[in-house]
Structure 1
Amino acid sequence: MKHIRISVTLLFLVLTMSNKGHSQVALLAPVEPYFGQKPPDLTPEVFAPDIVSSEHHEWDAVFTPDMKEFYFSRKNNTSKKESHFVLKFENNRWHESEVERGVGGSISPDGKTMYYTNKYRERIDGGWSELKSLGSEYEDIDIMALTVSSKGTYFFDEYRRGGGGLLRYARLINGKREAPKPLSKELNTGIVNIHPFIAPDESYILWDSRRDGGYGGSDIYVSFRQEDGSWGAAINLGDKINTSTSQNGGYVTPDGKYLFFNSPDKSGNGDFYWVDAQIIEKLRPK
C-alpha cells in the first residue's frame, strides 16, 4: 500500500548561526509535541514534511519521555554528508540544533540514559555525558540498535553483512546485568533481524526482518509476550506498513500513541512515517 504524504502548514523562523555551523528553528506558535501536524489514523503519513522529513534520507527518530526533545539523523543525498539534529521545546518554542554523532539512538523510559551502538550516555545538567562503554561483553558485538524496558532489560541486535546475527536480551537482576542471551527462534528466523524496539512494559517487541512471506526487502514484525513469559509468533505488520521496499526502525512514541518507522523509496530516500499505534494492538491475538 502506498503511504500518504500530507504537507504541514506551519510558520517557522530559521536562523543560521554561521560561526557554529548550526541552524536554529523557532516555531512562531507554541505547538507541541508533534510540530502542529494533524495526527494520523490507521493509514501511515509522512511525519513533519519539510521540518523533519525532507528530500534527503532521515533515520533514527526518537523523542525523550517528556516529549520535549526529538532526535533524528539525515544524510544529504548530494554531498553524502551525515548530520544529526535535535528539536527542543524551550520557552514555548521548538528550536533545532545540530548535535554530534552518537547523540540520539534510543532513550530509556526514565529518560536518564541514551544508547548508541554498544555505548551509552547519561543525562547530565545541560545535556548528555560523553559516550561510555556498555562493558566488555558488548565490545565485540556489532550493535545497530539497543532498546531498554522499564525493568532495565536490554534488547539488541547484531548486524552482519550478508545476513545472520541474532536478536539478544540481557536482564537486570538484583542490580546486576546477566550475560546476553539470544531471543527465541520465533524472532531469530530469516536472513536479517535488526532494529528491535521493546515496549516499556515488555508486552511486545518490534523489529525488522527479511524472511519468507514478506512484502519485499525488510518488513517490520511484532511479537507479543505470552502469559508464560515466552514470545509469540512473529506477525508481519501488514501492507499498510510494509511495501516492496524495505521498512525499518519501528518505534512507538513515549506516550504510546503513534508508531514511527522509516520507509526508503527505490532511490534510497527515506522519510519518517507515523500511524496510530492501534495498528499494533489490532494484531494482538485474542
Structure 2
Amino acid sequence: MKFFFASTVIAFAASVASGSHAGDDLSALKGPYLGQTPPGMTAEPFAPGLVNTEKWGDAGSFSLDMNKFYVNRWRHTRDAPEPEKVTYERVGDGWQKVVMPEGWRRPFPSPDGKALHYGVQYKERTPDGWSDMKSLGPAFEAIDIMGLSASAKGTLVFDEWTRDGNGTLRYSRFVDGKREDPQPLPNEINTGTWNAHPYIAPDESYIMWDGERESGFGSNDLYISFRRPDGSWGEAINMGDKVNTDAEEGGPHITPDGKYLFFNRMVPSAGGNGEPQSDLYWIDAQVIKDLQPE
C-alpha cells in the first residue's frame, strides 16, 4: 500500500502565499525546529499533535532558511475531513501557525533558492520575484512525477508513478545552459519492485530513496547509494534498523542545515482501528555518515 507517498509530490514553498492568514499563536514553542527537542540516533515522530495528526497523513519540510515549516496532509479514508493546508512560521524566537488558501502548492526548491520545482513545471527567481510557470519539456511531461529533488549543480532526480509500482528513477543534468532529457539511474538504484521519492545531496555525494526489495525489513525501506570516486553510483545500501521497520518508510530528505534526516512511516491508526496512517519522523543525519563506505 503506497498511497501516502504519492501525496508528497507537492512540497516546499519559498514564501507564504498571498491570501494566507495567521492562525494559532505558538510563541511558547521556542527555538529552531518548531521548538522541538532534536533526536539522537533513534528516529522519533516530529512534533506530535502539531505536525503529526490522528486525522490525516502528514508530511513536511523546512524552508531553505529554516524559518518556515510547510505541512502536507492528505486523507487516509473517505470519512476523514478535508485536511487543512498550513505552514508554521518563525516569529522572533517562537512560532505561529498560518492557514494557507485553497489551491496553495509547495514546490521542491533548488539548494541555491533560484528555482522552485512543481513536478514537470518550475519557476525561476527574477529581479522582480518569480517567473511564470515553465515546463521542463516534453520528455518530462511524458512522466508522471511524484517526488523530485535538485542538487546545487542543477541535477534533478525524480520518480515515476505507475499502477504496477515499478516506476523508474531518473536524473537530468543541467549542462552548458541546457537541461538534458531524463536518463534512468543505473541498476544499482533501479532494482526491486518499488523505487520512489529520490533525494540527491546538494553536493551529489549520495542519493536516498524508498524501495522494496526481498532483502528489506518488510514493505518499502529507505535506501542510499554513495557516489564512487570515479563518479559512478555504488550499490544500494539498506539504511538499517535505525530508520527501517516492517512498516512502510519513504520520502527521505535532509534538513537544509544538513543536520537531520526526515522521512515518513506508516503507523497504526489511533486506537488501532482502521487503515495505518503516515507520520513524519526525524533522526540525526549521522545515520548517513555511519553508512558511508570507507
Shorter-chain TM-score tier: 0.7 to 0.9
Structure with bigger helix share is 2
Shift of 1:64: 1.6
1:272 maps to: 280
2:184 maps to: 182
Shift of 1:246: 0.5
1:34 maps to: 33
Deviates most, 120-129 or 63-72: 120-129
Q: What do residues 144-185 of structure 1 show as CA deviations (whole Å, max 9, x unaligned)?
A: 011000000111111111122211111011111111111010
Task: Work out the CA distance in 1 between the residues paired with 2:58 and 2:286.
Answer: 23
2:207 maps to: 205
Q: Could you tell me whether the CA contact under 8 Å between 2:43 and 2:243 is conserved in 1?
A: yes
Alignment of structure 1 residues 18-167 onto 2, 5 Å: 24-29=23-28, 31-76=30-75, 78-99=79-100, 100-101=102-103, 103-122=105-124, 131-167=133-169
> 1:282 aligned to 2:290?
yes
1:173 maps to: 175
Task: Work out the CA distance in 2 between the residues paired with 1:166 and 1:158.
Answer: 6
For residue 259 of structure 1, give the secondary structure of its aligned residue in structure 2. Answer: strand
Shift of 1:41: 0.4
Shift of 1:110: 1.5
Shift of 1:138: 1.1
Task: Work out the CA distance in 2 between the residues paired with 1:263 and 1:116.
Answer: 23
Shift of 1:126: 11
Q: Could you tell me whether the CA contact under 8 Å between 1:84 and 1:103 is conserved in 2?
A: no
Q: Could you tell me whether the CA contact under 8 Å between 1:58 and 1:72 is conserved in 2?
A: no
* Number of residue pairs matched by the alignment: 267
Deviates most, 141-150 or 25-34: 25-34
Q: Partner letter of residue 252 of structure 2? A: G
What's the TM-score once normalised by structure 1's chain length?
Answer: 0.85
Shift of 1:131: 4.5
For residue 231 of structure 1, give the secondary structure of its aligned residue in structure 2. Answer: coil
Deviates most, 109-118 or 123-132: 123-132
Q: Which runs of 4+ in 1 moved over 4 A?
A: 20-23, 122-131
Task: Work out the CA distance in 2 between the residues paired with 1:35 and 1:134.
Answer: 34
Q: Could you tell me whether the CA contact under 8 Å between 1:108 and 1:114 is conserved in 2?
A: yes
Task: Work out the CA distance in 2 between the residues paired with 1:60 and 1:140.
Answer: 27
For residue 166 of structure 1, give the secondary structure of its aligned residue in structure 2. Answer: coil
Shift of 1:25: 2.5
- Unmatched runs of 5 consecutive residues or more in structure 1: 1-19
Q: Partner letter of residue 88 of structure 1? A: E
1:260 maps to: 262
Task: Work out the CA distance in 1 between the residues paired with 2:35 and 2:20.
Answer: 27
- Unmatched runs of 5 consecutive residues or more in structure 2: 1-18, 269-274
Q: What do residues 104-161 of structure 1 show as CA deviations (whole Å, max 9, x unaligned)?
A: 2422111232222222244579987665432222111000011000000111111111
- Residues 179 and 106 of structure 1, relative CA distance in 2, 3 Å threshold: same
What's the TM-score once normalised by structure 2's chain length?
Answer: 0.83
Task: Work out the CA distance in 1 between the residues paired with 2:21 and 2:175.
Answer: 43
TM-align CA RMSD: 2.4
* Identity within the alignment, %: 47
Deviates most, 88-97 or 109-118: 88-97
